[in-house]
Amino acid sequence: MGVTAIKHFDNDSAGVVVVRNVERAQSWEINPGATLGVDIWIPWCVSQVDFDNNHYLMIEFSQPARTYWVWQSNEAWKDLVRCNTEGKWKPEASPVWGISYVNGNRSVELQLNGKIVFSEVAS
């Protein structure tokens, strides 16, 4: 298991996006067209108990109205950053778009269509 850290968010959406590190009770608002520089480790969530104990990030788009729950999980064959819009833990949740494997620094593009796309950031 490795650590996946988000280094910045680029808000290319039409509205304000709120990022919540629920595990650490932190939140940030990002205006349209703005970049937020941060250092957030994505929480590990490998069970319903972890999810119930807030081991996830929430990314809330205002336009289009959509919320993602984001966490790292481990699989028998690889570790992935996963997300869903259902607000509950699912071991089979989809990997995030872009670079979804665990361990490294990431940039997150908050797209106009309401998607979150991860890319690598040089260390």
Q: What is the 3-state secondary structure (H, E, C) of 6-46?
A: EEEEEECCCCCEEEEEHHHCEEEEECCCCEEEEEEECCECC
| CB 80, CB 91: distance < 8 Å | no
Predicted TM-score (pTM) of the model is 0.94
Task: Compute the half-sphere exposure of residue 3: CA atoms within 13 Å on the CB side of its CA.
Answer: 7
| CB 121, CB 9: distance < 8 Å | no
pLDDT of residue 77: 60
pLDDT of residue 10: 98
pLDDT of residue 76: 63
The predicted-structure confidence for 87-121, as pLDDT tens digits, reads as follows 999 888 999 999 999 999 999 999 999 999 999 99
pLDDT of residue 78: 76
pLDDT of residue 118: 98
Grade residue 37 by pLDDT with cuts at 50, 70 and 90: very high
